[in-house]
Amino acid sequence: MSDVTFGVKVPEELKLQIDNLIKDSGLRTGKDFMQSLINSYVLEKTKESLPEVAEDLKELQSLTQRIDNI
């Protein structure tokens, strides 16, 4: 599947904030940042809709963060 362009009009301040977040995230591209953002959103919604797995997901996030730091 080929990539498509996605764009929205935002105020200049928001654009600068997004650019800084992408830069600070360490991700290479805006595409990678958007994918990470969507993954985080889906994960949080899953925690809300399935509270019985919320603690397991938090632990998994913690372990994944430790692995990334190493």
pLDDT tens, residue by residue, 26-51: 998 999 999 999 999 998 899 899 98
Within a domain: residue 5?
Answer: no
Within a domain: residue 7?
Answer: no
Within a domain: residue 39?
Answer: yes
Within a domain: residue 25?
Answer: yes
Query: What's the whole-model pTM score?
Result: 0.74
What is the residue range of 35's domain?
Answer: 12-69
Within a domain: residue 2?
Answer: no
Rounded to 10°, the helix 30-49/12-25 angle is 90
Q: What is the pLDDT of residues 5-27, one digit of tens each?
A: 999 999 999 999 999 999 999 99
Domain tally, the chain: 1
Within a domain: residue 38?
Answer: yes
* Number of Cβ atoms within 10 Å of the Cβ of 8: 6
Within a domain: residue 6?
Answer: no
